[in-house]
Amino acid sequence: MYRIDFNKLRFLICDDNPHMRRILRTLLHSFGAREVYESEDGATALEMYTHYVPDIVITDWSMPIFDGLELAQMIRQPESKGNPYAPIIMLTGHSEKRRVTVARDAGVTEFLAKPISAKGLYQRILNVVANPRPFIKTKTYFGPDRRRNTTNTYIGPERRGSGEVEVMQQPSLLEKARSSI
Amino acid sequence: MAKDKPGTIEVKSFGTHHVITQPNPLRSALLRVPESDLDDPVGRAEKALAGLSGEFKAWMTVEADRLSAAYEAVKQGGFNNETREELFRAAHDIKGDAATFGYPSAAAAADSLCRIIEHAPDLDAVPTELIAHHINAVQAIVRGRTKLDSAVVAGALSKQLRGITDEFLIHANRERPEHLEAVMAPSIVPNE
């Protein structure tokens, strides 16, 4: 059986609603997290993301000026100096399927529809810690693999082309980002 | 903060995409514990949340008043980008937060209002009473929660508002298939 040592994780939460930030902070501290940074808008969150290099980002979607979707897109810049791989959990009042798709295509790792529950949040965090997905980079997408499952029964066009496999070794960008602060 | 030994990123390149994998950087935060482990972080968090519940009524009042203020601004100056955004955000926050605070019917009424703002082709053409009823419903649910019969009444009120709203939106979007599909699509949040 596995459990998360929250003491070893650094969180960044971004929500313009102070009540929801308080709820999130309370939940994370109760789980055992000590380092929880907060921002009330996407622009500040991006600055804090670069400065504090959090392990996990939890963001609301709907915020003034610079929303959670834009924040996810800014983090998922493969050429950026910061860490483009951090798990992003989108916590939002939006509850339509098309929104999940839009968030997924922006590079969001997990989607959690409000109302928030301790169990729902814990499960999303456990999932990103225990089961990280590889990242996919195409001309139009950079983010966690959007295919969570493989199936041998799929019928339809294959959007990913195959080709020669080339393996490149390079230093971890995450470590590079951390060593630069 | 979770520090493992520096790993290497492996990139496999294919015809149209690259697959990038790296050793799990958060692995050190994953603990193997015996089945007999009694630690219950979720239970602990639920207790902490219950400890906050004494503040929920005051928080909900703040949220409901913000919604009313946003609607007052619409009544004064009509719908423009600013007033529309603020009304939507105030309703959207209640939609997301109210159930956590113990007001699921207020969340349902706010959700119905969000749908109007998001999908009505012309907000100025929405009957004034329809929006006003949503604002009043949220206020009534929040202020009247302590009454014994209020939960049933609040639930019925929200359901009725949602029914009228859906009828209006389906009619108003009959020539707009994208919106019509969104209006009729089921929510990913299970019903209470």
Q: What is the pLDDT of residues A37-77, one digit of tens each?
A: 999 999 999 999 999 999 999 999 988 878 999 999 999 99
Nearest Cβ partner for B6 among A9, A119, A175: A175
- Give the C-alpha distances (Å, rounded to integers) separating B53 from A22, A26, B46, B67: 12, 12, 11, 21
Q: Using CA atoms, how far apart are residues A103 and A105, in angstroms rounded to an integer?
A: 5
Helix (H) or strand (E) holding B139, with range, is helix B128-143
Task: Search chain B and give the residue with CA nearest A118.
Answer: B42
B13/A171 CB distance under 8 A: no
- Residue A136 makes CB contacts below 8 A (sequence gap 6+) with A142, A143, A144, A145, A146, B17, B18, B19, B20
- Say if B82 is an interface residue toward chain A (CB within 8 Å): no
Tokens (6 digits) for A14: 């971004």
B26/A122 CB distance under 8 A: no
pTM over 0.90: no
* pLDDT (tens place) for every residue of chain B, 192 residues total: 665 555 688 888 887 888 988 888 898 999 888 888 888 999 999 999 999 999 999 999 999 999 999 999 999 999 999 999 999 999 999 999 999 999 999 999 999 999 999 999 999 999 999 999 999 999 999 988 755 456 777 888 888 899 999 888 898 888 888 888 888 887 766 554
- Scanning B117-176 for CB atoms below 8 A from A yields none
B11: phi then psi, degrees, rounded to nearest 5: -115, 120
Q: How many CB pairs under 8 A join A and B?
A: 212
- ipTM rounded to 2 decimals: 0.83
β-strand partners of B20: A135, B11
Chain A residue numbers with beta carbons less than 8 Å from the beta carbon of B32 are: 1-2
A156: phi then psi, degrees, rounded to nearest 5: 150, 180
Q: Judging by DSSP bridges, how do beta strands A56-59 and A88-92 pair with one another?
A: parallel
A129/B93 CB distance under 8 A: no
